[in-house]
Chains A and B, each alone.
Chain A
Amino acid sequence: MAMRREHLVNAAIALLLLAVPLWASWAGQNFYVTLATRIAILALAAVGLNIALGLGGLVSFGHAAFFGIGGYVAGILASHAVSGAPLLGFLPGTKLMPVIWIVAILASGFVAAAIGAISLRTGGVYFIMITLAFAQMIFYFALSWPAYGGEDGLSIMLRNAFPGVNTLRPLPFFLICYTLLSLGLLLFALIRGSRFGAALQAARQNEVRTASVGIAPFRIRLVAFTISGMVTGVAGALFADLNRFVSPSMLSWHMSGELIVLIVLGGVGRLYGPVVGAALYVVLEYWLGGITERWQFFLGLVLLGVVLFARGGIVGLLAGRARHD
């Protein structure tokens, strides 16, 4: 029963996230389309984190690293395409989104594999702090490396292009982001239902038993962490295109914290948890920001309330506890 209710809740959320911007665009309210685009992109980033955190129980406090790397891939490739100077002397820049996404996936996946290989040797609270520290390392590097704007960040003059779609208009760009979010959710569902996903979740629930039936947790976790970083990296590339700007703030530890917040708000390990969390977070940010300059104060109190009193997040409230069947 509970599972079927979750399907209904998920379908309703997916439709709502599609319907609101369509209606807003029809009504000429492009601001709400942009808000929905922001929700879709942050949700995609959090879906990526949810693979590591929700399925694998790996509390990464450094996913801003992958988000920011995706963003910088978009910014750097676009800047080389505009200037005409090849990257590292031989790689041409590009303004084509599909190429940018592939490079973002490769770059964030490579860094995720490297960070994962070191930090997954440890566990628990060590893992939290080490992922945070590595993300911070990349943050400081971006801050002090002046070639791509350093502290000031990097502007993307004109949003990158997708063949056959006018990405400069808000609705088509939203639809691109929504499609990628749907693909990300599909990937999450496929992983969760696969043998690999079963092993990953088993390692979360009981590491010793998993190892004793012949499954080494380290490699499975490393693969999951890498895939997780890749998905968040694509979201980062989209985020840079949404803002037409990328700066070290995308790499900051506040960003990592926000991604965790999105998941916990929505419901850890739930398919649509990140989507609900992102929607709630962006709407809350917008709504509180309209009422008071001190919105972060109240956002903090709301978060505190959710952690202390609403375990299981919003999807948990709507659809009941997660079933393991």
Chain B
Amino acid sequence: MQTALFIEQLLNGLQLGVMLFLMAAGLTLIFGVMGLINLTHGSLYMVGAFACAAVAAWTGSFWLGLIASLAAAAAAGAVVELLVIRRLYGRDHLDQVLATFALILVFSEGTRWLFGSFPLYLDIPPLLSGAVSLPGGAQYPLYRLAIIAVGVLVAVGLWLLISRTRLGMRIRAGESDREMIGALGVDVATLYTLVFALGAALAGLAGAMVGAIQSVQVGMGEPVLILAFVVIVIGGIGSIKGALVGALLVGLVDTMGRFLLPQAFGLVMNASQAGLVGGAIASMLIYLLMAVILAVRPRGLFAAQG
């Protein structure tokens, strides 16, 4: 039973990591190409979840909802980029933080305006609602395995996009020298809007998928946003590979810490106290991990920026 529980927690950690990767990939891409720190990313995650829940409730189909979440988040991202973000590329980080912080207020309150304060619920599609038997005899929800699979697919897809396509070539060129690619005739403004919308769509996808295992509510994106920041700081800002490694590391350390630490403390103190102490320390664990990694490598594991 203990091994079964262990494997289950390991998979939960993997699933959290994969979801964080979808968020962190967009954030790190946007920072790498445009040099922009984007707090709105958590709001785009929320937009994806709400679009999925609303369309799924209206049509009865999760799959249509999933498509809607991609479209809505990408569209919201593109509109925000065209109206606001575009004016921030030349500004310092302080202005970017502030403007995107203001956008969070607008997005959160706007969503509450449209959908009310009560959380929405999104059902897992029937096709994925079963469970799979794990070695050791435990049952694991199929849907969570599907999330892991989607994350792996997206990671491979992103890698192909960036290393094998013309758009990817432009993104890489934009990371190393944005003036030069403009001079070579690449429409930089459109490229930036595309990258922003791509990042937004990934965030929306993450929001929609997680929406089916948690409730869909205003503010759901903010804890995820901050975890995604930890991920890209650990991985090295601007590096997709770093985002992947960082996301898996954070997902696994967080989940396993919450699972194992109370047990470890249970060896030296009574169970209820061990639960409290272990739980409190587990909630700080990924930040301690970040501190240790930064103490050794201040620019993250795979620093992309010089």
CB-based contact A133/B230 at 8 Å:
yes
CB-based contact A133/B84 at 8 Å:
no
CB-based contact B98/A122 at 8 Å:
no
B165 CB, min distance to chain A CBs, angstroms: 27
CB-based contact B110/A128 at 8 Å:
no
Answer whether residue A264 sits at the interface, using C-beta atoms and an 8 A cutoff. yes
Q: Mark A109-149, 1 if CB is under 8 A from B, else 0.
A: 00000000011011011101110111011001101111000
Q: Mark B85-99, 1 if CB is under 8 A from A, else 0.
A: 001000001110111
Known pairs A125-B37, A297-B105; A260 contacts B299 (CB<8 A): no
Q: How far is it, in angstroms, between the C-alpha of A7 and the C-alpha of B191 when the chains are bound? A: 47
CB-based contact A141/B284 at 8 Å:
yes
Residue of B nearest to A129 (CB): B229
Q: Mark A239-264, 1 if CB is under 8 A from B, else 0.
A: 00000000000000100010011001
Q: Mark B265-290, 1 if CB is under 8 A from A, else 0.
A: 00000000000100110011001101
Q: Mark B283-305, 1 if CB is under 8 A from A, else 0.
A: 11001101100110011100000
For chain B, give the interface size range. 35 or more
Answer whether residue B103 sits at the interface, using C-beta atoms and an 8 A cutoff. yes
Chain B residues with Cβ below 8 Å from A294 are: 109, 112-113
B37 CB, min distance to chain A CBs, angstroms: 5
CB-based contact B226/A300 at 8 Å:
no
CB-based contact A264/B94 at 8 Å:
yes
Q: Mark A292-305, 1 if CB is under 8 A from B, else 0.
A: 00101101110110
A113 CB, min distance to chain B CBs, angstroms: 14
CB-based contact A260/B284 at 8 Å:
no
From residue 299 to 325 of chain A, which have CB atoms closer than 8 A to chain B? 299-301, 303-304, 307-308, 311
A108 CB, min distance to chain B CBs, angstroms: 18
Q: How far is it, in angstroms, between the C-alpha of A132 and the C-alpha of B226 when the chains are bound? A: 8
Answer whether residue B101 sits at the interface, using C-beta atoms and an 8 A cutoff. yes
Answer whether residue A53 sits at the interface, using C-beta atoms and an 8 A cutoff. yes
Q: How far is it, in angstroms, between the C-alpha of A128 and the C-alpha of B104 when the chains are bound? A: 17
Q: How far is it, in angstroms, between the C-alpha of A296 and the C-alpha of B295 when the chains are bound? A: 38
CB-based contact B283/A143 at 8 Å:
yes
Chain B facing A: main interface SS: helix
CB-based contact A129/B233 at 8 Å:
yes
Q: How far is it, in angstroms, between the C-alpha of A116 and the C-alpha of B232 when the chains are bound? A: 20
Answer whether residue B31 sits at the interface, using C-beta atoms and an 8 A cutoff. yes
Q: How far is it, in angstroms, between the C-alpha of A29 and the C-alpha of B110 when the chains are bound? A: 34
- B residues with a Cβ closer than 8 A to A are 31, 37, 84, 87, 93-95, 97-99, 101-106, 108-110, 112-113, 222, 226, 229-230, 232-233, 237, 276, 279-280, 283-284, 287-288, 290-291, 294-295, 298-300
27 A-B contacts, Cβ less than 8 Å apart?
Answer: A53-B94, A59-B94, A118-B291, A119-B294, A121-B298, A125-B31, A125-B237, A126-B237, A126-B298, A126-B299, A129-B232, A132-B226, A133-B287, A141-B280, A141-B283, A144-B279, A144-B283, A260-B97, A260-B98, A261-B98, A300-B103, A300-B105, A300-B109, A304-B99, A304-B103, A307-B99, A311-B95
- A residues with a Cβ closer than 8 A to B are 53, 59, 61, 118-119, 121-122, 124-126, 128-130, 132-134, 136-137, 140-141, 143-146, 253, 257, 260-261, 264, 268, 294, 296-297, 299-301, 303-304, 307-308, 311
